[in-house]
Amino acid sequence: MDKNLLVLAGTGEVSRRYAEGVAESLGLEIYNVENKVFPDGESYIRIPELPDNNILYIQNLDPPQDKRLWEALLALDKLRSQGYNVILVTPYLAYSRQDKEFLKGEAVSVALLLRLLRSLGAEEFYTIEIHKMDSLRHFAGRAISLDPYPYMAGVLADKLPHPSDVLVLSPDLGAIDRARRFADAFGSEFDYIVKRRDRVTGEVYMEPKEIPARGRSIIIVDDIISTGGTMAKAARMLLEQGATDVYAVAAHGLLVGGAVDKLRNSGVKRIFVGDTLPPKEGVDQVELYPVVAREFEWVNQHGAS
């Protein structure tokens, strides 16, 4: 793909915010997908006239996910039929947690989603911290999950306790790499908690494991906080084990229902999430568009139009 890019902002507040941040930091022109919703709830999409062929199309999949996804498919199909080359950036990739058939007969949502995006013309795909890296294989093209944790660790350095007093934990062994990436940049030790989820009820169980929590500040790092159940259970257990305070950090803050209250009631001192989803009261958001912009810096170096 040629190096001259322009930014096309997809639908929703998060898409627009990321598109503006990326366009401004790279000095690229920005255009908006025009959209409206008809009185019966159906979506209308129009692609404005674009002066260049190479498009950095930023379309987030924040709730309502299905609507956003449909808008993305309409836009991608139109862009392809008009002969544009499209790099798709989706900061929050909905459906990423349904990445296998946990129970017989379950649809593997992320596989279909990535196949659809590719087949409708996205040539490259970028997201922030996909739930499982392995899911990217379903996109038959260049597909990248950007790592937000070193950047978040830098931003949070003056808001959190001193690294030497801190233990960074992942809420399960499978996610320990997230704790490691954050801890390496923050300068702390890291470890993991043993978590198990009942696939039918969704209930989370934390199993006892010797964690040197006593007298320490704990930062729990996860990819997503949804209902807050995982973080709240972990926080309670760690405070019972003598941790002095517990902070929750995640790339994506869905924070559905009473998640924020649930976290507060469990003793979590502060909640920090990326800004890949709409903001919630009582939660600190870290702007992550620089993590996306950095990935496309070569555009500046090689001369954008």
Site residues (vs ligand R5P, CB under 6 A): 97, 131, 171, 175, 204, 222-230
Specify the residue, 124 or 284, whose C-beta has the smaller distance to ligand R5P.
284
In whole angstroms, the minimum distance from the beta carbon of 246 to ligand R5P comes to 15
Specify the residue, 73 or 220, whose C-beta has the smaller distance to ligand R5P.
220
In whole angstroms, the minimum distance from the beta carbon of 174 to ligand R5P comes to 7
In whole angstroms, the minimum distance from the beta carbon of 63 to ligand R5P comes to 14
- Indicate the residue type of 129: E
Q: Is 195 a catalytic residue?
A: yes
Q: Which of 132, 195, 209, 262 is catalytic?
A: 195
Tokens of 26: 């790279």
Q: CA–CA separation, 63 vs 229, rounded Å?
A: 19
Q: CA–CA separation, 16 vs 204, rounded Å?
A: 35
Q: Parallel, antiparallel, or unpaired for β 166-170 and 217-225?
A: parallel
Specify the residue, 163 or 229, whose C-beta has the smaller distance to ligand R5P.
229
Q: Parallel, antiparallel, or unpaired for β 245-253 and 189-192?
A: unpaired
In whole angstroms, the minimum distance from the beta carbon of 291 to ligand R5P comes to 19
Specify the residue, 15 or 226, whose C-beta has the smaller distance to ligand R5P.
226
Q: CA–CA separation, 68 vs 174, rounded Å?
A: 29
Question: Which three-class secondary structure string do you get for 74-131?
Answer: HHHHHHHHCCCEEEEEECCCCCCCCCCCCCCCCCCHHHHHHHHHHHCCEEEEEEECCC
Asked if omega into 208 is within 30° of 0 (cis), the reply is no
Residues forming the active site? 195
